[in-house]
Amino acid sequence: MRDHPHLQTIERYYRGCSSADGELMRSTFTADVVHYFTHHEPVCGADALAHYWVSMQPKIDACWTVDHGIVQGDEAVIEWSMSWTPPKSNVVEMIRGAEWYRFDDQLIAEIRAYYLNPRAPYPQVDFELLGFDYADRGYTLK
* 55 domain residue, yes or no: yes
The answer to whether residue 142 sits within a structural domain is no
| Domain total of the chain | 1
Q: Is residue 120 assigned to a domain?
A: no
Q: Which domain holds residue 76?
A: 5-115
pLDDT tens figures, 78-103: 999 999 988 888 899 999 999 999 99
Q: What is the pLDDT of residues 37-51, one digit of tens each?
A: 988 899 999 999 999
Q: Is residue 65 part of a domain?
A: yes
What Cα–Cα distance (Å) separates residue 28 from each residue in 58, 60, 97, 126, 131? 21, 22, 20, 31, 22
Q: Would you say residue 60 lies in a domain?
A: yes
Quickly count: other Cβ atoms within 10 Å of residue 22's Cβ.
Answer: 20
Domain contains 67 = yes
Residue 127 within a domain = no
- Asked whether residue 76 is domain-assigned, the answer is yes
Q: What is the CATH number of the domain that holds 24?
A: 3.10.450.50
pTM of the model: 0.92
